[in-house]
Structure 1
Amino acid sequence: MVRVAVFDDNAEQRDALAALLGHVDRTTCAGIFPDAGKAVEDVEACAPDVVLMDIDMPGTDGIEATARLRLCYPELRIIMLTVVEDEERIFAALRAGADGYFLKQTDPMKLIDGIMDVMSGGAPMSPSVARQVLALVSGRKRDQAAARFRLSPRELEILAMLVKGWAYKRIAAELGISFGTVNKHVGNVYAKLRVGSVGEAVALAVRKGLV
C-alpha cells in the first residue's frame, strides 16, 4: 500500500484526489494540505511514500516546496500537478527534484499508474509534457556532453529511457538485463552527474544535451 500526501489549495481537487487514493486498493491518502508553507513538517508528520504537489499555490509554491522536501527527504517521490503546460515550469520543477509531472486533467487511473511507476523508479509524465522534454533533448550535442560526464554507452542508453519516463522494470525487460543491473547503472549515472533523483538526472540530461 503506497501512502500518498496531497498538497493543493483547491479544496475540490484535494477532496477528489483523497477519494481516488482511498478508493484504489494500491494506495491510501496519508494527508491532505491546502498549502505548502509547512511541507517539510507536514511530510514528517504523515510519512508519505509519494507527494502529489500542486505547482500554483499561494505563499510557498509547489516548486519551492519540492526543493525543500528534496533536501530533507531525498528518498521521497514527488509528482507535480498543474493545469498549465509551461516549459519553464516543467524544467524548474525537474531541477527542484520532482520525479514526475502530470496535468490535472489526466485520467485518474493513469495518475494512479504514475504513482506506482514512480515507486518503481520511473519518471512518469503526461504525454504532452514528455513530448516537450523529448523535443528539447533532440538535436543536442550528445557525444560531447557524454564525454564530459564520462558516461558509458549503456549508461547513456538507460538515461535516455529515464528521460522517456520508463520504470526500471521496463528498462530491464527492454535491454534483457536484471532489475539489479539497471539499478546499478542508474546509481553510476547519479554519481557521474552528481544528482540524487530521477527528476534531477532528467533535467540535467536535457539541459546538457546528454541524450
Structure 2
Amino acid sequence: MSIKVFIYDDNGARRDSLKALMELSPELQYAGEGINCLNVIADMQTYFPDVVLMDINMPDADGIVGLKVIRKEFPHIKVLMQTVFDDTDKIFECIRNGASGYILKKDSPQRILQAIQEVYDGGAVMNPGIALKVLEYFQPQKKENPLSARETQVLELLAEGLSYKMVADKLFLSFNTVNTHIKHIYEKLHVSSLGEAIAFYYKNLHQ
C-alpha cells in the first residue's frame, strides 16, 4: 500500500518538485497540496493523508499553526516539518507540538523520501545538524568561572569535604585568609551557603 502524502509549501516550484518526486516513487502517493494552513482541517478531511510534508514559514497560517491543528484533530497523521532555516526556537516549538520529524529543504531527494517512509513507520526523523542542536540544548550549559585561581582552589578543596582549617593547612594560608576567600566566593557566585557554592562547583567547574 502506498503512503499518501500532502504537501504544504507556499513556493510553487518547490511543490512541483516534491510532487514529481512522489510520482516517481512507487511507494508514495501524492494526495494534495496547500500554500498555507488556513484550510488545514478541510484539507485533512478531504484528502486523508498518511504523512504531511509541512513547510514552516508560510503566510497567513504557517506550518506550526498547521502542526498544532493536525496533532489535535488528526493525531494519527504524521507531520514532517521542513524549512530552509535551522532555527533553534522553531525546532523546539515543532518538537514540543508533536512533529514526527524535521528535515531541511536542502536535504537530498533520497533523504526526503527516506524521512517520509521513516515517520510513516513510526520513527522520529531529524536532520543530523538539527539532532546536534537538540543534544546541545539538553546538555547543561556550564557557566564561566568568575573566581580567581586561588578562590577556585579553595572551593575545590571544600567540595572534596575539607574543613576551613584543613584548607588553610593544605594551602599554607591563615584561617582568616581562607574565610576572606570564602566571603569573596559567596559574593561572586551570588550564593549564601557553602552547599550552594559546592553545587555551583560540581555543575560548572568540576571536570
Q: TM-score, normalised by structure 1?
A: 0.65
Q: Which residue of 1 aligns with 2:134?
A: 133
- Say whether 1:72 aligns with 2:73: yes
Deviation at 1:135, TM superposition (A): 1.6
Q: Which amino acid aligns with 1:135?
A: E
Deviation at 1:7, TM superposition (A): 0.5
Q: Secondary structure at the match of 1:122?
A: coil
Q: Which residue of 1 aligns with 2:62?
A: 61
Write out per-residue CA displacement over residues 71-125 of structure 1, whole angstroms, 9 at most, x where no aligned residue: 0001110000100010000001111221100000100111110111111211111
Q: Secondary structure at the match of 1:16?
A: helix
Q: Which amino acid aligns with 1:22?
A: E
Q: Which residue of 2 aligns with 1:18?
A: 19
* Structure 1 Cα separation of the partners of residues 6 and 15 of structure 2: 10
Which of 1 and 2 has greater Rg? 2
Query: How many matched pairs?
Result: 140
Q: Which residue of 2 aligns with 1:3?
A: 4
- Say whether 1:89 aligns with 2:90: yes
Deviation at 1:34, TM superposition (A): 1.4
Deviation at 1:70, TM superposition (A): 0.6
Q: Which residue of 1 aligns with 2:52?
A: 51
Deviation at 1:139, TM superposition (A): 3.8
Q: Which residue of 2 aligns with 1:41?
A: 42
Q: Which amino acid aligns with 2:29?
A: T
Deviation at 1:36, TM superposition (A): 1.0
Deviation at 1:138, TM superposition (A): 2.8
Q: Which residue of 2 aligns with 1:99?
A: 100
**Do 1:80 and 1:98's aligned partners in 2 also have CA atoms closer than 8 Å?**
yes
Q: TM-score, normalised by structure 2?
A: 0.66
**Do 1:7 and 1:52's aligned partners in 2 also have CA atoms closer than 8 Å?**
yes
* Structure 2 Cα separation of the partners of residues 12 and 85 of structure 1: 21
**Do 1:64 and 1:96's aligned partners in 2 also have CA atoms closer than 8 Å?**
no
Percent identical residues: 36
Q: Secondary structure at the match of 1:15?
A: helix
**Do 1:21 and 1:27's aligned partners in 2 also have CA atoms closer than 8 Å?**
yes
Q: Secondary structure at the match of 2:129?
A: helix
1:119-130 maps to which residues of 2 (within 5 A)? 119-130=120-131
Long gaps (5+) in structure 1: 141-211
Write out per-residue CA displacement over residues 50-84 of structure 1, whole angstroms, 9 at most, x where no aligned residue: 00000000001100110011100011100001000
Deviation at 1:137, TM superposition (A): 2.3
